[in-house]
Homo-oligomer: A and B are copies of this chain.
Amino acid sequence: MNNRLTELLNIKYPIIQGGMIWCCGWRLASAVSDNGGLGLLGAGSMTPELLREHIKKCRAATVQPFGVNVPLIYQEIEGIMKVILEERVPVVVSSAGNPKTWTKQLKDKGITVLHVVSSSIFAQKAEEAGVDAVIAEGFEAGGHNGREETTTMALIPQIRRATSLPLVAAGGIATGAGILATLCLGADGVQVGTRFALSEESSASPEFKRACTEVKEGDTMLALKKLSPTRLIKNSFFDKIKEAEDRGANAEELLEIIGKGRTKLGIFEGNLTEGELEIGQVASLIDKVKPVETIIRDMIDNYNLALGRLKPML
């Protein structure tokens, strides 16, 4: 399937791997790119020098294009962008910040820029900033999330109206049927986080991956709305946050409970009780860690199967 997204990114399938901190180094990114999608390195959990190393290793592992996900509020942003510009990474996916700050510099170097948004207003701002495409992420997504809580089903048609740019749907998509559903709603492709976080090539800890494959419906919840809304697995750390929120704790108090290094502790080091475990609702559909090659092949098969079942309404 060729469309303007696959042409923009020079990829086979309109599938972008989400940039999830502690999950996506060169192994995951190169595997996704090598299998026809767009792999992303997650700069949000890397120093500039570590990112440079991953870019070099990713280049050595695949001839296909790949990208870097950059949370724009990241403290090491200057160093990260310096490496990206020097290494001439083909694609940058920016999130969590103002797309005006960096888009022009990146585009001037021939880098394709996508920006993650959670509302039409942010999509329009991204378009004004000159990005090449927007990624619209719904409430069901894991990790950091929009304040308006708009779900993928409600968000995608809305963003489709708000901008004429290529549109990538994110949040709640782990299967080919899910990809097809978002194309129905007006998306040109998808960004898949959770399913790739739970791949063999993901750098998340085995403990984290196992815990996520055991997630059932209702086992994740959007918390920390007084800070930055974040979808978490309900564990002992979550319970402390919830207890504080229920009694009306303010942002300061919540920050104190969180402390430092909680996501690394949970995702990378596999501390399932005290770590911050970020994953999407759709983890409940996933019961096995698989290699990227199988994940993508299954998605394509499932997409075509779901398409073949649809009938016109007369």
Contacts and interface: CB of A to CB of B under 8 A. Distances in A.
Interface of A: 1, 13, 119-121, 138-140, 147-155, 157-158, 161, 171-173, 175-178, 180-186, 217-218, 221-222, 226, 246-249, 280-282, 284-285, 300, 303-304, 306-307, 309-314
Given A217-B120, A247-B248, A313-B303, A154 B281 contact: yes
A246 B175 CA distance: 37
A179 to B, nearest CB: 8
Nearest to A1: B313
When all copies of this chain in the complex are counted, the total is 2
Contacts of A157: 175, 177-178, 285
Contacts of A248: 246-249
26 contacts: A1-B311, A1-B313, A119-B217, A138-B153, A139-B140, A139-B149, A139-B151, A140-B154, A147-B218, A148-B217, A149-B222, A150-B284, A151-B171, A153-B171, A153-B282, A176-B313, A177-B186, A178-B185, A181-B181, A181-B185, A183-B310, A184-B184, A226-B246, A247-B248, A303-B312, A304-B312
B185 A285 contact: no
